[in-house]
Amino acid sequence: MKGIRALTIDKDNAPKWNPPSLDNVVDKKLDLVFQPFEEDLELQIKEQEENRWDGKYENSAYASLKVTE
C-alpha cells in the first residue's frame, strides 16, 4: 500500500516500509495476517454444481442488460 501511495499520490518513489526490509519480518506478525477465518466468515460454496449459480445472474446488474427479441 505504501509503495502504491509513493507512486500515485506522493509521487516521490520513496515508500517508507514498516518493517524496512523482508529480513525484519517476524513470523508472529505473519501468523496474525494469515490466520483462518471464523466459521461464520468462511466462504461458503455450494457443493452441487447445478445449485452454484442459482439466482446469481438474475439478481445482478447484468440481468437488466438481457437482450429480448
Q: What is the pLDDT of residue 15?
A: 79
Q: Which residues of 15-25 are buried (b: 16+ CB within 10 A; e: fewer)?
A: eeeeeeeeeee
pTM, entire model: 0.37
Give residue-wise pLDDT tens across range 9-68. 877 877 788 888 899 999 999 998 898 888 888 887 777 766 666 667 777 777 777 666
More confident residue, 1 or 23: 23
